[in-house]
Amino acid sequence: MPSVPVIGDTLVYRYYIEEILDAEGETAVLKCFDSRLDVPQVIKMLIGDHLAPDWNARCKRFVEAFRCQARLTHPNIVRVANIETRDEWVFSVMEELQGMTLEQYADIHQLMPKDVIALFIGIMDALSLAHHHEILHMGLSPRNVILNEQGNRFSPRIINFGVIRQSEKLNPISHLPYLAPEQLLEYENAMEASDVYAIC
């Protein structure tokens, strides 16, 4: 498996890499320009040792998670535009959002009760749609909600549906506070109530 692309690379003759937004852990997040649609996009790419025993299983889980997310059309869920599994790359392509995560925003701004209620209603409505389609988020937290800027208003967008994580590798600060008890025992024990617990 190739390493993280560099700025100036073009993936699958279509996605021109403009910026590396994140390249830690098991995935990389890249800002790109989609030359076919003529719009900016964001790529989330699976990285790691393609010879590792669990590589094929990781690829399968990654692709399935984004296929599930692509089935959800909702103003509060980030839109998946494409999934690529060729030229030795495994990645999803999503709409580019302008704004901070809810975690970043809350660190520097005080959320008023009316703001909290508006965010809660939007996120719960998105989760309700996902659960109606039997799709779980499994890892909802403030870092998985982007506040997309629309003029002087913010629209919450949920990202990273269905990402499977190993319980022993969970970050005690960013992950554990939002996990329901059943997921603390085993991450994949998630159910609809686990998502509700996380948002509450």
The residue with tokens 């024990």 is 189
Tell me what pLDDT residue 174 has.
Answer: 65
pLDDT tens digits for range 15-50: 999 999 998 778 999 999 999 999 999 999 999 888
Global pTM reads 0.88
**Residue 59 pLDDT greater than 50, yes or no:** yes
Cα separation, 146 vs 165, whole angstroms: 20
Average pLDDT, the chain: 89
**Burial annotation 13-38 (CB, 10 A radius, 16+ → b, else e):** ebbbbeeeeeeeeebbbbbbbbeeee
Token readout for 77 is 């869920």
